[in-house]
């Protein structure tokens, strides 16, 4: 009997794209279900994630799993091929630490920087740069955070690897540059150049237009209240 694997997501969400990338790296076939998380969440999404009512949700043989980092852990435990976490317990713990650092420290301040008023942007950008400086230290000259291959931290940092530079173009804000963070900037190029990663990213022109439209409408640049 074939496995049932479904992903409830949104095309512009880095969180649901995390899940898709992990499944693609593992070679897992899945059905993708697009959700209108901003205006009309489906009854199925509300059924499978009644607590947070957010995407992404992974449905595996009828069992729903929510929260993107939790889903990544589930994918790693369920499909053993092409691991996204190191085998060594310490290295595995460090990968989890940095993935959580991205979610808890980097993403909130980067979103705030992209949406801040001119009067407060300098201070917020400074805070964002401090987070990126700390994150860059985890690379330590490696091609990816996972070493020679894309791993958990790379997947968790997909917003920084792709979305951030699009938002910078749309807003005129500069946090990430080759001059400020040469290793991290190089990593973003390496990350988006991977063939599998490319297949898990939204079209750049479409994403840029989406961000500009939300800025013009006075809204947040991403559906952050609807995904995690």
Sheet strands side by side (includes 5-9): 31-34, 5-9, 57-60, 63-66
Q: Residue 118: in which H helix or E strand, if any?
A: helix 118-137
In this prediction the pTM is 0.93
pLDDT given at position 219: 62
**Which tens digit of pLDDT belongs to each residue from 8-38?**
999 999 999 999 999 999 999 999 999 998 7
Residues 134-181: pLDDT tens digits? 999 999 889 999 899 999 999 999 999 999 999 999 988 899 999 999
Report all structural domains of the chain as residue ranges with CATH numbers, in order of start. 5-78 (3.40.30.10), 89-217 (1.20.1050.10)
Quote the pLDDT of residue 38: 79
Quote the CA–CA distance of 194 and 199 in Å, as a whole number: 9
Q: What pLDDT, on the 0 to 100 scale, is given for residue 39?
A: 85
Query: What is the model's pLDDT at position 29?
Result: 96
């Amino acid at each position: 009997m074939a496995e049932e694997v479904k992903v409830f997501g949104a095309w512009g969400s880095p969180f649901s794209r995390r899940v898709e990338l992990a499944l693609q790296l593992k070679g897992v076939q899945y059905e993708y279900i697009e959700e209108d998380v901003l205006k009309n969440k489906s009854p199925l999404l509300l059924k499978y994630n009644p607590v947070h009512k957010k995407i992404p949700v992974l449905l595996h043989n009828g069992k729903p799993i929510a929260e993107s980092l939790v889903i990544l852990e589930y994918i790693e435990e369920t499909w053993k091929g092409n691991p996204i976490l190191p085998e060594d317990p310490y290295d595995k713990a460090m990968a989890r630490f940095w993935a959580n650092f991205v979610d808890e420290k980097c993403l909130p301040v980067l979103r705030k920087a992209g949406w801040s008023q001119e009067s407060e942007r300098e201070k917020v950008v400074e805070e964002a740069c401090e987070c990126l400086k700390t994150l860059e230290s985890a690379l330590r000259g490696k091609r990816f955070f996972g070493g020679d291959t894309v791993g958990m931290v790379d997947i968790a940092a997909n917003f920084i690897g792709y979305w951030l530079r699009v938002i910078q173009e749309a807003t005129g804000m500069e946090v990430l540059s080759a001059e400020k963070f040469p290793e991290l900037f190089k990593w973003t190029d390496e990350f988006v150049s991977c063939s599998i990663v490319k297949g898990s990213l939204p079209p750049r022109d479409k994403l840029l237009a989406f961000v500009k439209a939300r800025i013009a409408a006075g809204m947040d640049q991403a559906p952050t209240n609807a995904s995690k």
